[in-house]
Structure 1
Amino acid sequence: MPFPTRWPLRLVTSLLLPACGLANAQSSPNAGSASAPVIRASAAMSPGAAASAVSGLAGSPQEGAAPAPAIAPAAPAVPAAALSRDARRIYELSRDKLVQIRTLLRNSNTQASIGSGFFVSADGLIVTNFHVASQLALEPERYSGAYVTIDGQEGEVELLAFDVRRDLAVLRAKGLTSPAPVLEFRPAAEALAQGERIYSLGNPLDIGFAVTEGTYNGLVRRSFYPRIFFGGTLNPGMSGGPAVDDSGRVLGVNVAKRLDGEQVSFLIPAEFAQALVLRAAQAQPITEPAYDEVTRQLLVHQNLLTERFLQTPFQEQRHGKYLVPVPNDALARCWGSGRDPDFHALNLERTKCQADSDVVAGDFSTGTVRLSYEAYDAPTLGAARFARTYSQSFGNEPFLKRGNRRQTAAECTERYVDRGGLPLRAVVCMSAYRKLPGLYDMTVMAATINQSTQGVLARLDVHGIAFDNGLKLADRYLQAFRWEAAP
């Protein structure tokens, strides 16, 4: 399945599961076969229903499924046999350093979302994910934050610093009457070994604090920023919790999981949390909407993304005599599908590629890069019928976005260009982010027009790109198409 879903581990009481198919999923004859890309939000439902649905999505036990790893909940009713000795030891060692992070609506004081966190300094600094604390950064006038310890002690938190690109935030617990117990970081000099045991802690589904066991499987291949591949179970609500080694030292921060597999989860390496803690130690609390800082960090991200794509040559994929650009294997995953049996007169091949470069910034998911192709060959259809089918498929592409509270309506320009003897009809559309000035969503559509019963429809989507960088990527993309003429 191309582009399987990924779930961020914050549990929210007002959840949103967007229809996250590729942008052109409805545009072509067999568009229904397009599968969902990475998901960065949750489904809208009540807390109880959310827990039930998330449990199912995350792979609840079914006949023939691998058993879930042992979990150590806070409730004493669970028999001790459910835990390994090491997991119990780690749980007892870490339990007083863990907190649940709650985002509350100021007017009603009701929970809007929950996640996990952990104390890293005696004066109350807490590490969590940015997507857990994003409402405190972007809407502090509407939301407040609170922490709850494993023993039920509660207090306010204030946001000090965040790293949008790596999905980290540092909070401070207010009103502490005694020094906070602290989890230590594992020294960076002590490299993790493949297969080393990892223990992840947090508050899954708002049920209670728990520990899950797993293994270190190296860094995630193709991830734009370093991510640890954790061979263990994470669940919504565990976002921002610590992952520790056998000595109880933090080696990573819980961040996400895959929904299409078992025990495929992801951690942010501890070195990035340590750097943010140092920055936060002298910072003043964030009390005004921090869109300027979010924008600054996202502009850094899109610059790095643009440089990487411009400096890495495209690979060529062949469709008949058409050669189309696809990202280097180190940058993106590509998936293909062959002839569609519902369209007997068409030989239709599809390719979809996506880079693992997206960044969660509150309500925004930016930094995504996707490419897709549809290659048509209809030798028995006739030129007129082929032109009608081909034109309809191009015209059905949903790139003319309407404006909304987050983005302006798309503005597009269309040109006919020649790429070394291969004429293309090209459309470039831009849609600006209203609260993130200087960032745009860009779509590039291209259709070859040199053959009467053959053609390739191509699409490039980039989210959260600066205008000039978007044009650079569009030009580089269109320059890479080729037609291999007969010798």
Structure 2
Amino acid sequence: MLKQAFLYLASIFIFISQIPLASAQDQSTQLFEQLKNRVFQVKVIDIASGNKSSIGSGFLVANDHLIATNYHVVSSYLLNPEKYKLVLLDNQQQSQELAIVDFDIIHDLALLKTKALPYKPLVIETSQPAKGNRIYSMGNPHDLGMTIIEGTYNGLVEGSRYQKYLFSGSLNPGMSGGPAFNSRGEIIGINVSKGGEQISFLVPAFHLADLIKRYRQNGEIAQADYNSHIYAALYADQDAYYQHILNLDWSTTSFMNYDLPDKIDSSLKCWGHIKSKDKDLYKNVHRHCRTEDRVYLDNNFYTGGFSYDYSHFSTEQLNTIRFYNLLQSRHNISGFYNGNKEDASNFVCTSNYITLNDSEWKATTCAREYLNYKGLYDASLIATRVDQYKESLHLSIRMIGISQHNLLNISDRFLELVSWKK
């Protein structure tokens, strides 16, 4: 009897354990069948060659002819509309041309219009799902065909300058711009990027709702205004961010025998380490703070980064000349592997010797201006202490896509807080 009861309970357990798996599989299948006609491939076609330049995904939203996708999917067209055209490909392999009506470069979104489609638009859900909920993503990875991916919603990414949802699913190139939705088929996010194995990111759907609202209020952006629209968004974004930073009460941290600005905003991540090997004649201690977000402008050209690094050098073996040569070798701009010669001017640098709290420093400011967005710069402040013979501090601040007045204000604020313990 006991054996029979055990076998009976075991069979019930096995039966119950199989139900969620079957249900989840059925739900993915049902959602795919329900939504497949409203999710598309978006192609950027090079007019001269007739070949595709880039691909992504998009979906029907708002009415019978509006398509949502990522800005970065269609950026080459936006920046050079005379060289490219946009094409929509449905699940029947039927194509038609697209046009841009509005875009949000900061949140990597674009709205496109096409001829009227015989499908209902997808519903946008602006509230966040509960953390741990199952969500689904659709798109066309690597031009292999439309797929659906199941994963878990893990909330807003912590310590992020730009709001993104963390999705435990594996997005791949070509899925950018596709929809992510809940079990009811409502859009909760837009595929945007992959962060690692089973780690991906979504643009929250409330940003798409805001873009649609703006389009309804203001109408279509003219092709001649694409560049000015990008500039206005970039300038406003950096101004809001750096004014927010400047209005904070900056705390300081003890770093070696110095007091320096600490993590000044939740959008920054900070860490430290030491570099010291037996063959080295000096010790080098580092601390880094930086944002991990950026705004996509074009291929290999990003903006929106902010970081600062501290390096402390000390030696008992190097003589004064060799120690100063070491400091001079580190006193240069770095970390600007960004864009091409068509995107920004060459760096122009200015150096001065300054006094900070009775200590002498060499300070160098370097900046290059964006060629298509005048008034925005990639810039760096480098400062190295030069009045000690056995130890020195090197600090470097990098600001990507900043205005001149914000550059000056951030640099001055940093230097005001630098002090050392005599």
Q: Distance in 2 between matches of 1:276 and 1:398?
A: 33
Alpha-carbon deviation of 1:388?
A: 2.3
| Structure-2 separation of matches of 1:465 and 1:444 | 13
Alignment: residue pair count: 400
Q: Partner of 1:150: helix, strand, or coil? A: coil
Q: Does 1:361 align with 2:293?
A: no
By relative contact order (CA 8 Å, sep 6+), the higher-ranking structure is 1
Aligned to 1:346: 282
Could you list the runs of 5+ residues in structure 1 that have no partner in the other structure? 1-79
CA 1:122–1:394: 2 relative to 1, 3 Å:
closer
* 2:110 aligns with one of 163, 169, 180: 169
1:14-60: CA deviation from partner (whole Å, max 9, x where unpaired): xxxxxxxxxxxxxxxxxxxxxxxxxxxxxxxxxxxxxxxxxxxxxxx
Give the whole-Å Cα distance in 2 for the aligned partners of 1:255 and 1:271: 15
1:322 aligns with 2:263: no
CA contact (8 A) 1:324 1:481 kept: yes
2:61/2:67 contact within 8 Å kept = yes
1:109 is aligned to 2:46: no
Q: By how many angstroms is 1:308 displaced?
A: 2.3
Residues of 1 paired with 2:137 and 2:356: CA distance?
A: 52
Report the Cα distance in structure 2 between the residues aligned to 1:422 and 1:192, rounded to whole angstroms. Answer: 54
Instruction: Identify if the C-alpha distance between structure 1 residues 374 and 117 changes in structure 2 by more than 3 Å, giving closer, same or farther.
Output: same
Closer, same or farther: CA 128–403 of 1 in aligned 2, 3 Å:
closer
Closer/same/farther in 2, CA of residues 444 and 228 from structure 1, 3 Å limit: same
Task: Name the CA distance, whole Å, in 2 between partners of 1:347 and 1:108.
Answer: 56
Question: What displacement does 1:110 show?
Answer: 0.9
After superposition, the Cα gap between the structure-2 partners of 1:287 and 1:393, relative to the gap in structure 1 and judged at 3 Å, is closer
Does residue 157 of the first structure (1) align with residue 104 of the second (2)? no
Separation in 2, partners of 1:230, 1:196: 10
Tell whether 2:217 aligns with 1:279: no
SS at 1:338's partner residue? Answer: strand
Partners of 2:337 and 2:293 in 1: CA distance? 24
Asked if 2 retains the 8 angstrom alpha-carbon contact of 1:122 and 1:180, the reply is: no
**Quick check: 1:458 aligned with 2:399?**
no
From 351, 372, 395, give the equivalent of 1:414.
Answer: 351
CA distance in 1, matches of 2:249, 2:85: 47
Q: Which has the larger radius of gyration?
A: 2
* Cα distance in structure 1, aligned partners of 2:138 and 2:62: 18
Q: Choose from 469, 473, 486 the match for 2:410.
A: 473
358-367 vs 247-256, which moves further: 358-367
1:334 is the counterpart of 2:275: no
> How far apart are 1:343 and its partner, in Å?
4.4
> What CA distance in whole angstroms lies between the structure 2 residues aligned with 1:166 and 1:351?
30
Distance in 1 (alpha carbons) for counterparts of 2:339 and 2:29: 53
Query: What is the TM-score normalised by the length of structure 1?
Result: 0.77
Given that 1:326 and 1:371 are in contact with CA atoms closer than 8 Å, whether structure 2 keeps it comes out as: no
Within the alignment, does 1:222 sit opposite 2:159 as a pair?
yes
Contact conserved, 2:64 with 2:121, CA < 8 A, in 1?
A: no
1:160 and 1:252 mapped to 2: Cα distance? 20
Shift in alpha-carbon separation, 1:145–1:250, aligned structure 2, 3 A: same
What TM-score does the superposition give when structure 2 sets the normalisation length? 0.89
> Aligned partners of 1:275, 1:235: CA distance in 2, in Å?
26
1:136 maps onto 2:71 in alignment:
no
Identity across the alignment (%): 30
Give 2:313's match in structure 1, choosing from 353, 376, 397: 376
Amino acid at match of 2:40: V
Equivalent position of 2:241 in the other structure: 305
- Segments of 5+ residues of structure 2 without an aligned counterpart are 1-20
Task: Say whether residues 1:183 and 2:122 are aligned partners.
Answer: yes
The structure with more helix, counted as a fraction of residues: 2
Shift of 1:181: 3.1
Q: Are the counterparts in 1 of residues 64 and 120 from structure 2 also a CA contact under 8 Å?
A: no
Quote how far apart the aligned CAs of 1:398 are.
8.1
